[in-house]
């Protein structure tokens, strides 16, 4: 996998909004934080545009994202926010410039599509907080981890695990992101193709039967056959009907892990919850569970 070069003081980070619209007030904390970290900020031409719920028309958003990819002075691309919209323009995006001049692309949620497409093209990407979230106090430490990665400081991650969790030891390529986007990307250039995968999933605002249906879709697409362990992040604001589905995300995931003989790790603090620890997608990692603690460690190569 190609790793973008580390950023140095004075390097330029672009903020681009390829999905939902944002305001200057919402992004001010991010601009201030980037400058405090020693970097310059470039705002994409249509960053504060508006076309219904989008930050500009499809053509404008595509132009901005292409501009950030092709711009020789931009070293990293920080997406402003998710929502919906990237999938409408992704098939028209030319990412070939990143092969010779790789740069970090940072985001999550709707940005899952682009992160996984870049992984399929041999490039690392960053599942991490976006510009919209820079002012959230609970994400302060996670943002510091993000900037550490941009500066070349990879940090091994640990989190508490349920006491009854069995010991786990697995190694593979870290892939994943938002469950809905992964399920919707089946059959496309954005669906992960990595072998020996450590699969990370997170979700927000979905019915439990939708979660079950999407797991079945991933099963039919063969992703679990290429997975060595499943890591669940935040599943936030889940919903059920008046007649309960009968299984929550934990039971659904456990069912598929048993079917595929996979270890399951719960509670990783990333996604749409109060925490969103950055993850380098496409990186080789090891995961371990022992004595009530789980860890994710980055490996060479």
Q: Where are the domains of the chain?
A: 12-150, 157-298
pLDDT at 155: 87
CA distance 20 to 83: 5
* Per-residue pLDDT reduced to its tens digit, 23-62: 999 999 999 999 999 999 999 999 999 999 999 999 999 9
* Per-residue pLDDT reduced to its tens digit, 87-114: 999 999 999 999 999 999 999 999 999 9
Q: Which of 3, 18, 294 is nearest to 156 (CA)?
A: 294
* Per-residue pLDDT reduced to its tens digit, 219-234: 999 999 999 999 999 9
CA distance 254 to 247: 10
Residues 6+ apart with CB under 8 A from 296: 156, 157, 158, 174, 198, 231, 268, 279, 285, 286, 287
> What is the topology classification, in CATH, of domain 12-150?
Rossmann fold (3.40.50)
Q: Which of 232, 280, 273, 278 is nearest to 129 (CA)?
A: 278
Query: Per CATH, the architecture of 157-298 is what?
Result: 3-Layer(bba) Sandwich (3.50)
Q: Which of 267, 263, 272 is nearest to 293 (CA)?
A: 267
* 256 pLDDT higher than 90: yes
Place of tokens 């020789």: 72
* Per-residue pLDDT reduced to its tens digit, 182-191: 999 999 999 9
Report the chain's mean pLDDT, rounded to a whole number.
96
Band (136; pLDDT cuts 50, 70, 90): very high
User: Could you give the count of Cα atoms lying within 13 Å of 167 in the half-sphere of its Cβ?
Assistant: 2
pTM of the model: 0.96
**Positions of E strands within the chain:** 12-16, 40-43, 74-79, 104-107, 125-127, 157-160, 168-178, 197-204, 227-236, 264-265, 279-281, 284-290, 293-298
C-alpha distances out from residue 78 to 89, 117, 150, 223, Å: 17, 16, 11, 28
Band (161; pLDDT cuts 50, 70, 90): confident
């Amino acid at each position: 996998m190609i790793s973008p070069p580390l950023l140095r003081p004075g390097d330029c980070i672009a903020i681009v909004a390829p999905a939902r619209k944002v305001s200057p007030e919402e992004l001010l904390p991010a601009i201030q934080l980037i400058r405090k970290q020693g970097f310059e900020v470039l705002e994409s031409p249509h960053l504060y545009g508006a076309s219904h719920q989008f930050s500009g028309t499809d053509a404008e958003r595509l132009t901005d994202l292409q501009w950030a990819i092709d711009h020789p002075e931009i070293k990293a691309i920080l997406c402003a926010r998710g929502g919906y919209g990237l999938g409408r323009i992704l098939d028209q995006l030319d990412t070939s410039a990143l092969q010779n001049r790789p740069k970090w692309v940072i985001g999550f949620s709707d940005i899952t599509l682009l992160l996984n497409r870049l992984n399929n093209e041999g490039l690392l990407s960053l599942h991490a907080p976006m510009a919209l979230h820079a002012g959230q106090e609970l994400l302060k430490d996670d943002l510091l981890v993000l900037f550490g990665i941009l500066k070349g400081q990879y940090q091994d991650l640990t989190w508490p695990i349920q006491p009854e969790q069995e010991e786990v030891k697995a190694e593979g390529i870290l892939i994943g992101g938002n469950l809905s986007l992964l399920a919707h990307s089946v059959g496309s250039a954005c669906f992960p193709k990595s072998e020996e995968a450590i699969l990370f999933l997170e979700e927000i605002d979905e019915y439990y039967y939708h979660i079950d249906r999407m797991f079945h879709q991933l099963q039919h697409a063969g992703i679990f056959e290429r997975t060595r362990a499943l890591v669940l992040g935040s599943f936030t604001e889940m919903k059920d009907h008046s007649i309960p589905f009968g299984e929550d995300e934990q039971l659904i995931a456990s069912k598929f892990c048993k079917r595929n003989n996979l270890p399951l790790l719960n509670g990783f603090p990333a996604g749409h919850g109060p925490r969103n620890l950055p993850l380098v997608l496409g990186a080789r990692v090891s995961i371990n569970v022992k004595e009530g603690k789980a860890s994710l460690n980055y490996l060479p190569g």
